């Protein structure tokens, strides 16, 4: 795994969706990108947790930055809160992508595995979103 590549975090309301998406990413890019996922609420139901997102950011951290892919509004809101809680030197290197979670994570990781910069990883993932 190269610390020079952008890290990817997958945040879903469903632990199964998050884990399955992470497995697809691993099959596509191997260990070329730092990767972490989280899903579900602390009680084991559907939902997201700011604390789990913070931990996932730490696991996927790269000096090149981290791109977060989310499934629904609550995941986006909690991810944005997690970014705001980061120290300033890290917060500026974390982005939440407005992209489909599975397709976005796979294409973002593919870009990251080639050494693309954070902004390019984000832009490429977001190109998948309908206008």
For residue range 15-63, what is the model confidence (pLDDT) as tens digits?
999 999 999 999 999 999 999 999 999 998 999 999 999 999 999 999 9
Domain residues of the chain, as ranges? 7-126
Enter the pTM of the model: 0.95
pLDDT for res 18 = 97
Cα-based angle 60, 85, 19 (whole degrees, multiple of 5): 35
- pLDDT, residue 2, reads 45
Which CATH number is correct for 7-126, 3.30.1380.10, 3.90.50.10, 1.20.120.1200, 3.40.50.510?
A: 3.40.50.510
Count of other CB atoms within 10 angstroms of residue 66:
28
- pLDDT tens column, 72-130: 989 999 999 999 999 999 999 999 999 999 999 999 999 999 999 999 999 999 998 77
DSSP, residue by residue, 59-77: HH--TT-EEEEESSHHHHH
């Amino acid at each position: 795994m190269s610390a020079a590549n952008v890290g990817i975090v997958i945040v879903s309301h469903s632990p199964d969706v998050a884990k399955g998406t992470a497995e697809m990413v691993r099959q596509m890019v191997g260990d070329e990108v730092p990767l972490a996922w989280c899903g579900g609420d602390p009680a084991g139901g559907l939902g997201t947790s700011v604390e789990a997102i913070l931990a996932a950011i730490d696991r996927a951290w790269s000096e090149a930055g981290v791109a977060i892919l989310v499934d629904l509004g609550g995941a986006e809101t909690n991810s944005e809160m997690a970014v705001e809680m980061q120290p300033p030197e890290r917060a500026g290197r974390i982005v939440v992508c407005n992209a489909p979670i599975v397709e976005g994570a796979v294409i973002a990781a593919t870009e990251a595995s080639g050494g693309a910069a954070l902004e390019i990883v984000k832009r490429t993932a977001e190109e998948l979103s309908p206008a």
